[in-house]
Amino acid sequence: MNIALWLTRAGRSHPAAPAVGYGKRTVMDYGALALRAARIAGALRSSGLAPGERVAIAAKNHPEYLAILFGIWHAGLAAVPANAKLHSAELGYILEHSGARICFASKDLEGEIAAHGPKSLQRLLTIASREYETLVSADPVPLEPRAGDDLAWLFYTSGTTGKPKGAMLTHRNLAWASHAYAAEVDAVAPGEAIVHAAPLSHGSGLYALPHVGRLGVNVVPESGAFEPDEIFSLFSHWTRPSMFAAPTMIKRLVESGADCDPALIRTLIWGGAPMYVEDARKAVDRFGYRLAQIYGQGESPMTITFLGRHEIADRGHPRWEEKLGSAGRPYACVEVKVADHEDRDLPAGTPGEILCKGDVVMAGYWKNPQASEAALHGGWLHTGDVGVFDAEGYLTLKDRSKDMIISGGSNIYPREVEEILLAHEKIREVSVIGRPDAEWGEIVVAYVVGEASANELDALCLARIARFKRPKDYVFVDSLPKNNYGKILKTELRERDARREKKHA
């Protein structure tokens, strides 16, 4: 089934129902949104694209985002939403690797994308431009039938080699993830809203789908950024709004002095990284029992375990704080286990790698059969995360076996940053680690052997990778800790860094 059928159905049955909000204004009802998507589909088909080909969206959150996304699916094509915060060279790699022939871009990104666009990219369309408005005036076309296993969303997520990998999410994957959200995390009634302060290219965009399926309102803040005062103002305007956010965003809402009646909020969902228990407690104190947590990956989109509102509300439970610090219990639509290096189940209380399987798990990695086999061997998704189940089935995350750093809800792989730093002629060795940080969850720290200055290294990073990936601190040392085989010991380095921070505190 083509996931775009949800919008087609809504446009036919409830054309006057509000569908897209921009700030406090309704800018599209479901009739207009469905027609706009069908016109975009018509334009894409007339461009010569065959079903299954890829179309990219490299854009910040915009009221047109959902029309483009559903228009791509309506035409039987696969969407490649890319993080607008990425460096233009990184966006260029995604465009080339995915084979996208058309890219919709924000006005402020078009120049950079054009400079790094591959030869396979035939057309770059700036959203809301005159050319774009001509495109959305095309004749609408009927919905293109798609099978459940057909590719719908190519979700690029960083890999341990530093190059992004494209997780292939099918129409079935997206449908299951949407049903799981509505059934277990946040029930949506017609007319209720979700505020998209987080990128529509990632988790917030995934949560737009169940709101379309249930005739909800997808609201884009006018500022184009996360501003607590604006978010609270939108909460006061729209009907029972929800919002998906990184823990750092929830923390900023808690610390904001702006007035907000928590009774107006339906659910605040956090994910992308664990939240400190103390921060979660403060969030509960501020907003009451309107919080939920999810744990997932791009490969099993937002759907591995969840900690629901009613569990967070159960403050009288003797193990309430332990539950609050956990990632919750598995969704009903997935099997989850903690396993040893041979994929054998481990008993409660024993840490191991988190594995999951179900209809929500990706089909594999685009053009990367070796990575697909490594991630999905034995029929289980190998997350690379280390966790432990308790006797009641609650999962607690312990570490990330792939050394991934999560800063402000964004995934950063050390090797990607290390390779950039090692390109400097005055750097001999480098090791990048995450340092715990109360505001960001973790910050990127580079331990460096060499003579280059921090300013030189910062300039190098800013020229080649996204700003949020660059180290926040450079520590210059004479040598790095290594084992007998010459491998840098990141665990020992993290311990040294913790002692160093304690000494300087």
The CATH number of the domain where 452 resides is what?
Answer: 3.30.300.30
Q: Are residues 350 and 417 in the same domain?
A: no
Q: Are residues 212 and 254 in the same domain?
A: yes
Q: Is the pLDDT of residue 379 over 90?
A: yes
When mean pLDDT is compared across 336-345, 353-362, 384-393, 395-404, the lowest value belongs to 395-404
| Domain tally, the chain | 2
Residue 483 neighbours by CB distance under 10 Å: 9
When mean pLDDT is compared across 246-255, 257-266, 400-409, the lowest value belongs to 400-409
Read off the pTM. 0.85
Q: What domain range includes position 143?
A: 5-389
Percent of the chain with pLDDT over 90: 73
Q: Are residues 385 and 423 in the same domain?
A: no
Q: What is the CATH number of the domain that holds 146?
A: 3.40.50.12780
Domain boundary pick from 339, 365, 389: 389
With residue 236 as reference, give the H or E element that holds it.
Answer: helix 228-237
The chain-wide mean pLDDT, for the chain, equals 92
User: Strand, helix or coil at 134?
Assistant: helix
Q: Is the pLDDT of residue 56 over 90?
A: yes
Q: Is the pLDDT of residue 162 over 70?
A: no
Q: Are residues 327 and 372 in the same domain?
A: yes
Q: Are residues 182 and 212 in the same domain?
A: yes
Residue at 399 is within a domain: no
Q: Are residues 127 and 40 in the same domain?
A: yes
Comparison of pLDDT for 403 and 366, the residue scoring more: 366
Q: Over range 431-459, report the average pLDDT.
A: 93
User: Strand, helix or coil at 269?
Assistant: strand
Residue at 470 is within a domain: yes
With residue 388 as reference, give the H or E element that holds it.
Answer: strand 381-389
For residues 308 and 267, what is the distance between their CA atoms, to the nearest angstrom? 10
Residue at 420 is within a domain: yes
Residue at 395 is within a domain: no
Q: Per residue in 84-108, pLDDT tens? A: 888 888 899 999 999 999 999 999 8
Q: How far is CA 133 from CA 95, 230, 332, in A?
A: 23, 29, 43
Residue at 43 is within a domain: yes
Angle between helices 203-213 and 171-180 (to 10 degrees): 80
pLDDT value for 457: 95
pLDDT value for 399: 60
pLDDT value for 69: 98
Q: Which of 260, 261, 330, 327 is nearest to 292 (CA)?
A: 327
Q: Are residues 279 and 422 in the same domain?
A: no
Q: Per residue in 267-288, pLDDT tens? A: 999 987 777 788 888 899 999 9
Residue at 89 is within a domain: yes
Contact by Cβ (8 Å): 154, 366? yes
